[in-house]
Amino acid sequence: MGLFLLGILGGIFLSLFFSFGPAFFSQIQASIHYGFRNAYPFALGVSTSDVAIVAILLLISRKIPIDQTIAILNNHWIIYLGAAVIAGFGLYTMLLKTRRATEVSESDRISPYTASIPSRFIIYLRGILLNIFNPLIWVYWTTIVAILICNDSEITIAQRYLFFGGVLSATLTMDILKCKLASLLQRLITYRFLNIFNKSVGVILITFAIFMVASTMPRFERENSQKPAQIMQEVLNTKPPTTKLFR
């Protein structure tokens, strides 16, 4: 259980300090817009894609070196596809306008009974797609795999899954907690503010997509070409704690 508990602590730390990407902003937007009961499926979708990504990486880590995996994820076409999906979500969010009953004004506070809410399954799929088509999420989890276990032969396959079970359980719990906290703001926010907030989140997502595409430009690559290699070299030279600490 030592590895599982360490995974929980690691998941809490990662969720607090390294989870401010497109999925985070969309999750907060959905929680404020739809309320907790209708937004938590988004967190479940993000978690489902995280589980799939980690499982795939743990399987291929035995066959493909981590640096080669990073190189594959940095393929221009993969980045373009991810950027297109994120930009599409951003455009949709920008154009999203809260529907209100005719007697409700822009200055009134939000009511969950007057908002137009898609099905929970659709919201769940949004969480999956937005997360799994983000190449940086793949790089994020690949780096964690490299830092913590790929260069430690004493950690068995079962122990790897046990550790990441703790990480993923903690990140899911933290995401659901974020949904709950954000949803508490719903009744304090006016329809005018919500529409502005939707547009702001859309701009953030589109800006993120533009940055992803810009990162493939020749000048940007020349200036930063050595950084990924240096970071990965440091990762691979880092010796993680052995399982003896948990026995």
Q: pTM of the full predicted structure?
A: 0.75
pLDDT given for residue 150 in this prediction:
56
Give tens-digit pLDDT for 96-138. Answer: 765 544 444 555 555 554 556 788 999 999 999 989 988 888 8
Give tens-digit pLDDT for 197-216. Answer: 888 888 999 998 898 888 77
Task: Give the chain's domain count.
Answer: 1
Cβ neighbours for 10, distance < 8 A, ≥ 6 positions apart: 148, 166, 167, 170
Buried b / exposed e along 3-25 (16+ C-beta atoms within 10 A):
bbebbbebbbebbeeebebbbeb
Q: Does some domain include residue 211?
A: no
d(C-alpha 171, C-alpha 169), whole Å: 6
Higher pLDDT, 228 or 66: 66
Q: Does some domain include residue 107?
A: yes
Residue 185: pLDDT over 90: no
Mean of per-residue pLDDT scores for the chain: 77
Q: Does some domain include residue 138?
A: yes
Residue 45: pLDDT over 60: yes
Cβ neighbours for 23, distance < 8 A, ≥ 6 positions apart: 46, 127, 130, 131, 134, 137
In which domain, by residue range, is 16 found? 2-74+96-194+217-242
Q: Does some domain include residue 236?
A: yes
Q: Does some domain include residue 52?
A: yes
Q: Does some domain include residue 84?
A: no
Smallest Cα–Cα separation from 228: which of 73, 12, 35? 73
Q: Does some domain include residue 83?
A: no
d(C-alpha 235, C-alpha 147), whole Å: 5
**Phi, psi of 190, deg, nearest 5:** -85, 165
Q: Give the three-class secondary structure for 190.
A: strand
